[in-house]
Amino acid sequence: MISMHTSPLEQPGIGDAGGMNVYIRNVASHLASHGAQVDVFTRATRASQGEVVEVEPGFRVINCVSGPFEGLPKESLPTQLAAFTGSVIAFVRSEAQGSAGGGAGQRTTCGRTGAGAYDLIHSHYWLSGQVGWLLRDLWGVPLVHTAHTWAAVKNLGLAEGDTPEPESRRICEQQIVDNADRIIVNTEDESAAIVEAYDADPRRISVIAPGVDVGRFTPGSDRATERARRELGIPLRAKVIAFIGRLQALKGPHVLLRAAAELIRRHPEQNIRVVICGGPSGTGLERPDELHDLAASLGVSGYVRFLSPRPPEELVTVYQAADIIAVPSYNESFGLVALEAQSSGTPVVAARVGGLPLTVAEGASGLLVDGHDPEVWAKALEELVLDDKLRIAMGAAAPAHALTYSWDSTVEKLLDVYTEVLGDGVVDSPFRAAHGVPQGPL
């Protein structure tokens, strides 16, 4: 696997780490539990990381030096594509030489070493897709790609003041679509979108929904909710609306703040509180205090609690402490936060964008909102704030909906795709067409 711009070991909610990190870590872990051996190549960002991190049996993270450890924004990472690719190749070559010389700690895959140690490449995000495209041809193995977000799709639903994705990224994504042996998407809507925007071949698209860790994200008892609120410094009898995610315009936390300010003005008796859990990212890095300033200008600073990002084992308490989770994103390929919230027994109010209409069972485990007008959002949130019976019923129904998604199911479907692209089920494989490789096992 290739995840150049962010490591699956990074804390989601900080910088560029988010749902993609959760996805890669869980997929790699579950692939390993199914007997696969997975190396995730990512760019080193600290000298102390070490080159190889053994996460668990069958799952390693390889930190590749390419460019300075710190101070290199994501927008500058395309300048390091060659360096990163060279670092991956150097690592694989060194492992092959170490194994040939009987070096300790070297690992083989399927009894082989070096470039031949990998049966397949799965790249994540467009930067990694460019690297995967080159390595696919060098190593003679298929390339599977998951974009997580697409420039052409994001640019259709930008938040106010957000910066459009550059044309250079769209061109690179077009090249990946044209050359990958299989594209993995989260939803049928995403499949239709890339067929429209990139003229993708539908036969080389596989729809596989992400999962949720239903063993970790579980409903809390009344006592657990009270304990979580005490630990987070939230009044026990408040109505709590929470936002969890990266703090940038694309995710819409400003929409929630404006809507909540209107609710607080209308219903002071409800003792409404807002929790914002996450760190600045993307355009949010330009003004890291923007949401604090907005809360102050709206006169609701005393009603808003800002929390730093938390690892999953602590994040579950935020979900359990909340009465409602708001997901006002302008673009969301799937919506893992919405799924984790429902698994934790908390209803969701989400924007009707991307994969959220699939993730949220509208009317059963949450509500969907058209657009991002704070007045419209205030009305949707008001419905659940005021109607205790409806909110509690949705919270009770939410875990059953979340149970329909699991990482085991995701990985089993991925393994089917891997088997297909390695066997004779590939439809017009670009690699095989270019190299005259016949259909059948490589």
What is the per-residue pLDDT for 440? 47
Query: What was the pLDDT predicted at 109?
Result: 46
CA separation for the pair 275, 257 (Å, rounded): 10
Residues belonging to the binding site for UDP-N-acetyl-alpha-D-glucosamine are 11-12, 19, 246, 251, 310, 332, 340
Among the ranges given (215-229, 274-288, 296-310), the one the predictor scored with the smallest mean pLDDT: 274-288
Looking at the structure, do residues 247 and 179 belong to the same domain, yes or no?
no
What is the percent of the chain with per-residue pLDDT over 70, rounded to a whole number?
A: 90
Question: Binding site membership for 1D-myo-inositol 3-phosphate: which residues?
Answer: 5, 16-21, 74, 125, 149, 169
pLDDT number for residue 432: 57
Q: Is 81 contained in some domain?
A: yes
Alpha-carbon distance of 59 to 87, in angstroms, equals 19
The answer to whether 25 and 9 have CB atoms below 8 angstroms apart is yes
Residues 81 and 122 in one domain: yes
Element (H, E) at 126: helix 125-139
The residue type at 217: F
Q: Which residues pair with 69 in a beta bridge?
A: none
Residues 120 and 36 in one domain: yes
Q: What is the pLDDT averaged over residues 398-420?
A: 94
Instruction: Evaluate whether residue 385 is within a structural domain.
Output: yes
Q: State mean pLDDT over 106-131.
A: 75
Q: Are 117 and 110 in contact, with CB atoms under 8 Å apart?
A: yes
- Binned at pLDDT 50, 70 and 90, residue 265 comes out as very high
Q: How confident is the model at residue 431 (pLDDT cuts 50, 70, 90)?
A: low
Percent share of the chain, pLDDT over 90: 70
Across residues 337-347, what is the average pLDDT?
Answer: 95
- 188's enclosing H/E stretch is helix 188-198
Same domain? For 35 and 60 the reply is yes
Q: Which two tokens stand for residue 205?
A: 């698209």
- Please list, in sequence order, all residues whose beta carbon lies within 8 angstroms of the beta carbon of residue 110, skipping any fewer than 6 positions away: 117, 119
Question: Within 13 Å and on the Cβ side, how many CA atoms surround 260?
Answer: 34
Q: Which residues line the annotated binding site?
A: 5, 11-12, 16-21, 74, 125, 149, 169, 246, 251, 310, 319-320, 322, 332, 340, 346
Tally of domains within the chain:
2
Q: Are residues 122 and 58 in the same domain?
A: yes
Is position 247 within any domain?
A: yes
Predicted local distance difference test score (pLDDT) of residue 390: 97
The reported pLDDT for the residue numbered 112 is 39
This prediction has a pTM of 0.84
Number of other CB atoms surrounding residue 222 within 10 Å: 7
At 241, give phi and psi (nearest 5°).
-110, 125
- Tell me how far apart the alpha carbons of residues 437 and 421 are, in angstroms, rounded to a whole number: 13
User: Is 10 within the bounds of a domain?
Assistant: no
- Residue linked to tokens 């893992």: 336
* 434 pLDDT more than 90: no
What is the reported pLDDT for 341?
A: 96
Residue 217 lies in a domain: no
Let me know: does 222 contact 230? Beta carbons within 8 Å. no
Within a domain: 159: yes
Q: What is the mean pLDDT of residues 277-297?
A: 83
Shared-domain flag, residues 28 and 126? yes
Q: Are residues 35 and 51 in the same domain?
A: yes
Q: Do residue 203 and residue 260 come from a single domain?
A: no
At 298, which CATH number? 3.40.50.2000
Q: What separation in angstroms does the CA of 411 have from each of 2, 33, 335, 442?
A: 17, 10, 18, 22
161 has pLDDT over 80: no
Mean pLDDT of the chain: 89
Q: Is the confidence at residue 178, as pLDDT, over 90?
A: yes
Q: Could you read off the pLDDT of 364-386 as tens digits, one per residue?
A: 999 999 999 999 999 999 999 99
Q: Per residue in 58-110, pLDDT tens?
A: 999 999 999 888 878 778 899 999 999 999 999 999 988 876 555 444 554 44
> Cβ neighbours of residue 309 under 8 Å, at least 6 residues apart?
11, 12, 13, 14, 277, 278, 279
366 and 421 together in one domain: no
Check whether 175 has a pLDDT greater than 70: yes
CB 301 within 8 Å of CB 295? yes
The arithmetic mean of pLDDT across residues 34-57, rounded, is 93
What residues contact 333, with CB distance under 8 A and at least 6 apart? Answer: 147, 148, 149, 185, 186, 187, 190, 354, 355
- If asked whether residues 389 and 430 sit together in one domain, one would say no
In a domain, residue 185? The reply is yes
Q: Are 312 and 216 in contact (CB under 8 A)?
A: yes
Same domain, 117 and 247: no
Model confidence over 229-252: pLDDT tens digits?
998 889 999 999 999 998 989 899
| Closest among 59, 109, 54, 79 to 4, alpha carbons compared | 79
Give the residue numbers of the binding site for Mg(2+): 319-320, 322, 346
Contact assessment for residue 77 and residue 127, using Cβ atoms and an 8 Å cutoff: yes
* Extended strands (E) in 114-157: 121-124, 143-146
173 and 258 assigned to the same domain: no
CA torsion 296→300→303→305, rounded to 10°? -30
- As to burial, measured by CB atoms within 10 angstroms (0-12 exposed, 13-18 middle, 19+ buried), residue 345 is buried
Q: Using H for helix, E for strand and C for coil, what is the string for 251-320?
A: HCHHHHHHHHHHHHHHCHHHCEEEEEECCECHHHHCCCCHHHHHHHHCCCHHHEEEECCCCHHHHHHHHH
CB 217 within 8 A of CB 316: yes
Where in the sequence is the domain holding 114, given as residue range(s)? 19-211+408-435
Q: Considering the domain boundaries, does residue 37 fall inside one?
A: yes
If you ran DSSP here, which 8-state letter would residue 184 be given? E
Give the lowest-confidence range in 19-33, 338-352, 399-413, 425-439: 425-439
Q: How many CB atoms lie within 10 A of CB 377?
A: 24
Which of 22, 91, 9 lies closest to 56 in space, CA to CA? 9
